[in-house]
Amino acid sequence: MDPPSQSSISQNNYRSGFVAIVGPPNVGKSTLINSILGHKIAITTPKPQTTRKLIRGILTGERFQIVFVDTPGIHHSKKMLNQMMVKIAMEAINDVDVVLFVIDASRRDRGHEFAILDMVKDCGKPIILIINKIDTIAKENILPIIEEANNIHHFETIIPVSAFYGDGIEIIIDEIMKHLEEGPAYYDTYTITDQGKEELISEIIREKIFLLAEQEIPYSTLIEINELKEDDEKISLHAIINVEKSSQKGILIGKDGRFITKVKRMAIHDLKNIYNKKIEMHIWVKVMRDWTSDERKLKEIGLWL
């Protein structure tokens, strides 16, 4: 992961650095980065393995800049796409200053989560354990999780949080600052993500498919924005939703086009709120057979290392 070009911001005692948010799938990593930034830059759904690519979110304060890197969930899989997602997450750890390892407080059996930790704990970087979703359990159940974690690894610190409600976010920032050295800002003050508009729009569309579709459909979709025009009042775009099978295309379109119309309506609603403009969207569904196992296509969309 190459660092972005530096901006002109540079001050004495100004601290900056990169922080990877890692962990198993579906523990709330994307919700956490959205909560830290106070803006939606990463899609969130109840389904695991929603995040596919690295997403940078930039938090700039008066005397600091922290670049958070949201990563795909680390898990074991035989599928080429999933293997590449895990590889991308692991590579990201090599290029950061601090690692936030996130687990889900509501899971009774954390054996799988701490098994994933074995893949990360020897990275040589400070690791802060984030116990997320504490709003879903009784307060007296938090301490046993902390004790269990302390017996497994020596974390720099352990922070219980509720990313959904924003509880504990300031503590995370304070702890990260202890591990950052003096350095310049890498982005200007007003930048909150390195994502382009096309990429964010495609992710919003994909999020709605994850929320509405069942089984393998969400994981077999690839969204491409092949035309985007913008003026002061409106954004017009053409989106293609690629799926792997003809049967998936039929499901995604739905009877009389109802399913794809609902996806479009929900996506437009979010995009209006993000950009404060009228959204004009045209969507087509096409079949791109077995794209999740196609090395050439995975390279083309940046999911290959």
pLDDT tens for each residue of 230-283: 999 999 999 999 999 999 999 999 999 999 999 999 999 999 999 999 999 999
- Is it the case that residue 183 has pLDDT exceeding 50? yes
The CB density around residue 138, as the number of other CB atoms within 10 Å, is: 7
What pLDDT does 160 receive?
98
What pLDDT does 5 receive?
44
What pLDDT does 155 receive?
95
Verify that 173 and 32 share a domain, yes or no. yes
Query: What domain range is 242 assigned to?
Result: 197-300
Verify that 60 and 172 share a domain, yes or no. yes
Residue 186 lies in a domain: no
| Mean pLDDT rounded to a whole number for the chain | 89
What pLDDT does 6 receive?
44
Verify that 271 and 213 share a domain, yes or no. yes
Residue 182 lies in a domain: no
Verify that 215 and 257 share a domain, yes or no. yes
Q: Residues 245, 222: contact at Cβ < 8 Å?
A: no
- Is it the case that residue 115 has pLDDT exceeding 90? no
State what percent of residues in the chain have pLDDT above 70: 94
How many separate domains does the chain show? 2
Residue 246 belongs to a domain with what CATH number?
3.30.300.20
Verify that 234 and 163 share a domain, yes or no. no
Residue 49 lies in a domain: yes
Band of the pLDDT at 77, cuts 50, 70, 90?
Answer: low
Q: Higher-confidence residue: 84 or 230? A: 230
Residue 40 belongs to a domain with what CATH number?
3.40.50.300
Ranking 16-30, 46-60, 165-179, 257-271 by mean pLDDT, the lowest is: 46-60
- Is it the case that residue 1 has pLDDT exceeding 90? no
Verify that 160 and 59 share a domain, yes or no. yes
All residues at 6 or more sequence positions from 172 whose CB lies less than 8 Å from its CB, including other chains = 36, 100, 128, 130, 159, 161
